[in-house]
Amino acid sequence: MNHDTRLFFQRWLANPGQVASLFPSSDKLSDIIAAKTLQGPEEFVLELGAGTGAIGRALLRAGLSPARLVMVELDEVMCDSLREEFPNSLVLAGDALRPSTLLPPEVAEQVTTCVSGLPILHYKLERQRAFVKDVFSLMVGSPRLVQYGNMPRPPIAHRPLNLSVKRLGFGWSGIVPHFIWEFRPAS
């Protein structure tokens, strides 16, 4: 068993309600997400629910500078592991549903894209609204939220939240299918 898988299951057993997935993200899925997330070298990416770092590693493999990656994770043990593996990225421990309370203003003013695997689909509309408002308040330029999950329908209630939605792709993590979606404020 590799380090990521061992860490994932240790944390899942310690607090199953806090770890949102049944399996850690595979390299193949992470590479697909990274390819769909990065639009160029100028991207500044905020990853919410960074877990074991699979998506972060894929973003770096795809060409993102470590200094342009901010990772948020609730689990302190996973944060310690992320800080060790990503010493040139900013790793923050805290509630990924409210990243504006965690990011220093000089960092928040640079974020262009947010990528999230949080279980947003299961949240009530008002909680989704608060999350979307918080995330988009941090971004500059043409903000986008890349959200992945294992349902074939958009995981965020885009119509009542006035968001445009686009399916970016599909991949597998173990036996679990994942759909990758892009959300933007509707014009």
- The per-residue pLDDT for 148 is 92
Confidence of residue 173 (pLDDT cuts 50, 70, 90): confident
- The per-residue pLDDT for 40 is 84
| Residues 6+ positions from 126 with CB-CB distance below 8 Å | none
33-49 tens-digit pLDDT? 999 999 887 899 999 99
180 or 140, greater pLDDT: 180
122-131 tens-digit pLDDT? 899 999 999 9
Identify the structural domains of the chain with CATH numbers, from first to last.
3-185 (3.40.50.150)
- The per-residue pLDDT for 121 is 86
60-112 tens-digit pLDDT? 999 999 999 999 999 888 899 999 999 999 999 999 999 999 999 989 889 99
Indicate the pTM of the whole model: 0.88
| Residues 6+ positions from 3 with CB-CB distance below 8 Å | 52
Q: Are strands 176-185 and 163-173 parallel, antiparallel or unpaired?
A: antiparallel
Instruction: Give the percent of the chain with pLDDT over 70.
Output: 87
For 154-159, what is the mean pLDDT? 95
- The per-residue pLDDT for 119 is 85
53 or 119, greater pLDDT: 53
